[in-house]
Chain A
Amino acid sequence: MTLIDLANPTKFLSLTTRVLPWLAVATAILLLVGFYQAAMAPDDYQQGATVKIMFVHVPNAWLSMFVWGVMSVAALGTLVWRHPLADVAAKAAAPIGAAFTFLALVTGALWGRPMWGTYWEWDARLTSVLILFLMYLGLMALWRAVDDPSRAARAAAILTLVGALNLPIIKFSVDWWNTLHQPASVMRMGGPSLDNAFLIPLLVMAVGFTLLFVTLHLAAMRNEILRRRVRSLQMMQASQQAA
């Protein structure tokens, strides 16, 4: 099966139906292993048990950006190649990405309460993720504002690409703004010097969550294709009744 065959929704549907159970099982196994390892991981000498929040926070934060990347690729597919599945992929990804972004925000706040003493700190990273969340919501509002799917797809594709161009600028300006207003009050994670006891569960969780996204995304794409089929059948029914 080549990429061209996937452009056919029916072929895509049959492939999805075959692949989805395996993906779901793999996701479940990875997430269970990751959860077990996260539970067994030692406490951090500074952060104590709250370091365990990082095992779910970091994968969600990673996915919040990864999903926008996926949508940007889909947007190129919509605008440049007019690929029939690209619209579907972009639309299906938006709510899932918004959910992951929301989780990144909330787990970040829950980590911040014991560590910073407040749920919400106008920390540069939290703030950028908040703006990303607002942009996801705007994109979803755009999808919901128009009932013609292909028209909405092209508008959403342009917004997605403009957003992808703007996100680094927003990140940079928020960083700058943050250092201006509260210099270095924020405790930082260890960065690349992270100990293996933390790194391995984190990696397992990150891969597990990414697979979870792929699974959910494929399932949501399948729903979207069926929804379009329903729509076109309803239109045919309406035109038959009119005739």
Chain B
Amino acid sequence: MNKILKYGFLDLIRSNWLILYTAFYLIVSVGVLMANGDISKSVISLLNVIIILIPLIATLYGIIYYYNSRDYVEMLLAQPITRKSIFMGQFLGLSLSLSTSFVVGTLIPFVFFGVFRSAYLMHFLFLLIAGVFLTFIFCGLSYLLGLANDNKLKGFGLAILLWLFFAIVYDGVVVISLVKYEDYPLEKFTMLSTLINPIDLSRVFIMLKFDTAALFGYTGALFNKFFGSSLGVIVSVAALSLWSIIPTWLIVRTANKKDF
């Protein structure tokens, strides 16, 4: 597995797309830092980019990568290697290279801007961690969709739907329910709905760490009480971890059963 991971990772990280992806984060981070001139505001601006783009890129790149490397995978399958090693290696290589691009691309400008000396180092680290989690989660989900669908068109369609659902539709359903049931106590429902969607969870978790929390009013006080506590942090990390582990486990399971 390590060898497949290593070659997959090295192959991907040198590809033009990933260099472009890194460059994109470099440019966005520099731009955001120059425009705001302030670490805290830059992290918040970058948050907007990250919670939308990382899931989108991870989903699309994941599914493209799966279909493109099918021949290579089939060749590997003929070798005396377990399926688990092949697919785990592939998936981890993909997620790791995308994460590396993201981390390197954002870290360099922020380090030059003195993030290590600022009071917002923790906030920035939270942002990086959230980004890495989102990469793993959406790579895993889209890779799984690829595995489950031999029809490329269907696979692509489902992957885009997946992103649409988590980034937009889910929030729409929540907002509509909030308005519809405004007469009921909604605190627990809102909190649960935030915990379930990894994009919402990352967004709210990071925003609560910043001054923007004051905009949340008493809702913020309530959320802060939970997300600010160690239990809240553990539950949040557990939720994100579950979202990363379950697709990985499903990838292995599907791969083992699949007839190539």
> Do the two chains belong together in a single complex?
no
Which chain A residues have a beta carbon within 8 Å of chain B's beta carbons?
none
